[in-house]
């Protein structure tokens, strides 16, 4: 450890951490009571509540799966201390996000040693303004915490603090199973560099995270009869993606998001320019983080049925540090213009949706969808009878703890709004039906016949019915329609249920 590192007192780190946490909490102040969204309400909050209420490490009120219980244990601990609340949950996640920002800052310093200026501050600014981090930093999901512990593990590994790095990697894999990429890489790297020497045994430290993950899988196997929690999860996330075309498309989507989307093309251009001109970018630390980035992107492209951008969060600190460092290779005027352009693009991407379909959780669009769910749930509570709908609205109505309803509602859940799913409701006569669209498609890309054929072949895609078509099939009528920032939700009621309100 260098003298400079020894000179930083723990109190200084804690002070900076407290400032970052306050900054993030204040920056999300208006969103802290936002009801839970999608996988939050469908998986992670119910699993956390199972642990909080009954000490169940394996989820009971939702389908168990391979995801380790680290985040759920953190939330259960916070609720035990402060009581359960949506705002408290969001603050708990922002506290982990603040750790990630601090780790990003320190990692950027480590990767920028010898570079002029202060690229670490730029890297942190880019991370904090980026739409994916801003949205995910408050959400009760696994990928932002995985980012935080990955950045910290990389920092400790580059500083040759291997015992601490291995301990953080244990926490990492108990947060997100794909975190195993980091310790496996660290162990292999040390073993290769130190082969034949006494120091090669240091690589064995990085077997501890693998042991921890295997123990969790054994617990799952004993508790559920499945190594990954349930057979449907295994099929969708391990076997379904193993199609060469799906893998290729997933990888292209990853590369687009990292190097082009949300203004990243500006940083990518600077990186391409700086690469042959900055030997620092080809140094050992950068080779390590580059290999980690490639390995992580490949793993999340090959595994996982849902191709979600949040899986890329663990490599964002590296990416933004690379951009920040590359800007130093530009002339001052070009550097300032490039940095300003990237910051403006990232900031705008929090509010401006892309022109193609994307997961709403990539930016603040998820809050608009939550708003629609809340308005529809409020209207449903003024009526009587069973409501039919699809996830996530179905769980929003069933789970009062998620912030949408006061009491659990009786719901008939269908898989989606395709014709076959809607026809399954015939004869069941729900009094109401909540219909919505989770596909943002302002250019009507999905209306293109060739594109729709490709999606049908690769992903079993079938266009959903419109609310009018559903109403006609089920003998219902449109009672209410809500719209917010291009998203919509419709409430259908039986023709005999009275006038609309």
pLDDT at 459: 86
Contact 154, 162 (CB under 8 A): no
Do residues 50 and 61 lie in contact, with contact meaning Cβ atoms separated by under 8 Å? yes
Name which of 60-74, 159-173, 208-222, 454-468 the model is least confident about: 454-468
Per-residue confidence at 496, pLDDT binned at 50, 70, 90?
low
Residue located via tokens 């801003």? 134
Confidence of residue 314 (pLDDT cuts 50, 70, 90): very high
pLDDT at 242: 87
pLDDT grade, residue 117 (50/70/90)?
A: confident
pLDDT tens, position by position, 64-91 = 999 999 999 999 999 999 999 999 999 9
**Tokens 């000179």, residue located:** 7
Residues 6+ apart with CB under 8 A from 353: 363, 365, 440, 442, 485, 486
197: confidence class by pLDDT, cuts 50, 70, 90: confident
Kindly state the tokens that stand for 91.
Answer: 């603050």
CA 111 from chain center: how many Å? 25
Mean pLDDT, range 423-429, rounded to an integer: 93
CB 376 within 8 A of CB 482: yes
pLDDT band of 495, cuts 50, 70, 90: confident
Is the pLDDT score of 3 beyond 60? no
pLDDT in tens, 443-475: 999 888 888 888 888 888 899 999 999 999 999
| Mean pLDDT along residues 296-304 | 94
Query: Which band of pLDDT confidence, cut at 50, 70 and 90, is reported for residue 501?
Result: very low
What is the model's pTM? Answer: 0.94
Domain spans of the chain, in order of start: 3-349, 364-494
SS3 281: helix
Sequence-distant (≥ 6) Cβ neighbours of residue 346 within 8 angstroms? 126, 129, 130, 131, 262, 263
């Amino acid at each position: 450890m260098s003298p400079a590192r020894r000179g930083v007192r723990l109190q200084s780190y804690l002070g900076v951490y407290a400032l970052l946490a306050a900054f993030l909490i204040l920056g999300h102040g208006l969103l802290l009571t936002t009801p839970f969204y999608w996988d939050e309400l469908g998986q992670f909050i119910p699993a956390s509540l199972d642990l909080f209420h009954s000490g169940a490490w394996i989820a009971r009120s939702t389908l168990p799966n391979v995801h380790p219980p680290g985040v759920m244990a953190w939330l259960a601990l916070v609720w035990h201390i402060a009581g359960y609340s949506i705002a408290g949950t969001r603050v708990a996640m922002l506290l982990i996000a603040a750790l990630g920002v601090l780790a990003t800052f320190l990692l950027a310093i480590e990767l920028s040693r010898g570079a002029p200026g202060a690229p670490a501050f730029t890297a942190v600014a880019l991370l904090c303004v980026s739409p994916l981090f801003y949205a995910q930093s408050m959400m009760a999901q696994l990928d932002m915490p995985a980012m935080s512990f990955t950045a910290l593990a990389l920092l400790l590994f580059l500083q040759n603090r291997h015992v601490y790095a291995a301990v953080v990697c244990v926490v990492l894999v108990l947060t997100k199973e794909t975190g195993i990429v980091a310790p496996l890489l660290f162990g292999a790297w040390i073993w290769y560099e130190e082969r034949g020497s006494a120091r090669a045994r240091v690589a064995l430290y990085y077997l501890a995270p693998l042991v921890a993950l295997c123990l969790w899988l054994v617990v799952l196997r004993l508790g559920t009869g499945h190594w990954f929690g349930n057979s449907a999860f295994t099929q969708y996330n391990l076997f379904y993606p193993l199609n060469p075309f799906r893998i290729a498309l997933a990888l292209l989507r990853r590369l687009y998001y990292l190097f082009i989307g949300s203004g990243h093309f500006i940083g990518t251009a600077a990186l391409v320019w700086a690469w042959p001109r900055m030997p620092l970018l080809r140094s050992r630390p950068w080779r390590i983080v580059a290999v980690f980035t490639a390995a992580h992107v490949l793993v999340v492209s090959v595994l996982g049925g849902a191709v979600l951008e949040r899986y890329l969060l663990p490599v964002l600190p590296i990416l933004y540090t690379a951009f920040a460092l590359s800007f130093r290779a530009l002339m001052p005027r070009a550097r300032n213009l490039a940095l300003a352009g990237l910051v403006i693009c990232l900031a705008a991407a929090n509010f401006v949706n892309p022109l193609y379909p994307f997961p709403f959780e990539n930016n603040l669009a998820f809050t608009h969808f939550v708003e629609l769910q809340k308005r529809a749930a409020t209207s449903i509570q003024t009526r009587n009878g069973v409501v039919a709908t699809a996830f996530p609205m179905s769980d929003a109505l069933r789970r009062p703890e998620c912030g949408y309803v006061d009491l659990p509602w009786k719901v008939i859940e269908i898989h989606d709004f395709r014709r076959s799913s809607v026809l399954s409701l015939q004869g069941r006569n729900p009094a109401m039906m909540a219909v919505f669209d989770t596909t943002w498609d302002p250019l009507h890309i999905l209306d293109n016949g060739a594109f729709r054929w490709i999606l049908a072949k690769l992903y079993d895609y079938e266009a959903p019915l419109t609310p009018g078509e559903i109403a006609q099939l089920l003998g219902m009528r449109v009672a209410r329609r809500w719209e917010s920032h291009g998203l919509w939700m419709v409430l259908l009621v039986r023709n005999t249920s009275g006038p609309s309100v």
